[in-house]
Structure formats: structure tokens, C-alpha cells
Structure 1
């Protein structure tokens, strides 16, 4: 499972939400061998007064939080991070300086999905990649 939250200034985030979602999903699929049909993204376009960031960032500053079941290897998580930085820069011209990524892992038992605790789900993909 991967739940993605994306935060940014609304005037910058709104025009690119669709493309950014595609880029994020493609990266998750590649790095985690994730199924194409599993896409759970939420966007949080924010007013300038609601998003504070360091002076060495620009108005393109974007935060990506990815919540996942624990079990992915360090290598697969690093691969995801590198893919995101590279593809967001190449396709949307947002520099790595303006992107922050957090991967948050938790046990499957801490999730509730389709009426079941996550550790009781039958998944059609492998988490241990």
C-alpha cells in the first residue's frame, strides 16, 4: 500500500496536479514493483500564508509524503527518492532543491483497508522489494 500526500502553493500546485500524480505513480510502480491500478494520491494546495519554507526555496516548493507498509528495502526506498527527484525535475522543471520527500513506514496491522486490518489483507503484490 502507498498513500501519497502532496503539499504546495496552490497557484503552483493546481496546474501540475495531474502530471505530478502520473510522475509520482510511475516512480512508485518502478521502485516498489507496485501494481499500476493502485493509485491513492491527495493534493493539498495551500495559500502563501499557510506554507512556510526556508529562504533558499522558491514558490515551487513541494512536499511529498508517502505512507507505506513496512517491508521495502533501503535500496528500493532510495531508488524511489532518486526517481522522484529526477523525473519531477525533468518533466516539471522543479529543482530537487524545491522538493522534499518523506517516506513513512508502519506495520500492516496499523492500517485499515476494505474493512480489514492491513495484516489480514490478501495483496496482489509483494511488499518486500
Structure 2
């Protein structure tokens, strides 16, 4: 039940943004075994004045950096998360062609009772 928020600089074409969504969905299916149709993702495009990525931690980022925040059930293992990071970077490199240095991923763990996916119910609690 991942929930993704993706931020990038404005100006990329629709096909580029769709490729990001498709690659992330594929990475989650492969690394986290999310079910078919489990796609809850948003992309926020920001003007350059509202988007800044530094070059900390020995990574030189470009203006094509993408910030990805993924909220998941708190049952995911460290191994699953590591596999997800690798798969995300690989697939975004393939399509739409984002350099691995420009892929920033943050995973947030949330207990199952913190989720309602509709009807005002806590479906996983």
C-alpha cells in the first residue's frame, strides 16, 4: 500500500512524467510485491526558485534531480527497502533516463492502523 510523492523541476514533458510513474510502479511491484493496481502516486512540479538539491553526501546532483518520498506499511524489511532503492534507480535510468545520482528516495514507515483507503474505514487495522 505505498503512497508516493514525487517532486521535480517544472518543464518536463508528459511522457517523461508518465515514465517516472511507470518505472516507480514497476519497481514497487518487483521489490515490494505490491498488488496489481496499487498505484497511489502524485507528481509535483516546482519552478527552479522553489526547488533546491545540494550536493551533500558525495553525490553531485543536476537540475534533473527527482525527490521521491514513499510511505509504506511498517512491515517492510531493510532488505526490501535496499532492493527498492536499487530498482528505482535502475528503472528510472532506463526510462525516462534519469542519472542514478539524481534519484533521491526517502521511505517512511507507517503502522497499518494509520491507513484508510476509502469509505472512512481502517482497512488494515
Q: TM above 0.5, one fold? A: yes
Any unmatched runs of 5+ in structure 2?
none
Deviations 1:47-93 (A, max 9, x none): 00000112532110100110111101111111111000111112222
Determine the structure 1 residue equivalent to 2:108.
Answer: 104
Matching residue of 2:20: 20
| Partner residue in 2 for 1:116 | 121
Count of paired positions: 120
Does structure 1 residue 10 correspond to structure 2 residue 10? Answer: yes
Q: TM-score, normalised by structure 2?
A: 0.88
CA RMSD of aligned residues (A): 1.5
Deviation of residue 39 (structure 1)?
0.5
CA distances 1:94-116 after superposition (whole Å, capped 9, x unpaired): 11111100010110112222221
Distance 2:67 2:115 in 1: 23
Kept in 2: contact 1:12–1:59 (CA 8 A): no
CA distance in 2, matches of 1:19, 1:25: 10
Q: TM-score, normalised by structure 1?
A: 0.85
Gaps of 5+ in 1: 121-129
SS at match of 1:36: coil
For the 8 Å contact 1:13–1:45, the answer to whether it is kept is no
- Following superposition of structure 1 onto structure 2, how do residues 1-129 of structure 1 map, counting pairs within 5 Å? 1-12=1-12, 14-54=14-54, 56-114=60-118, 115-120=120-125
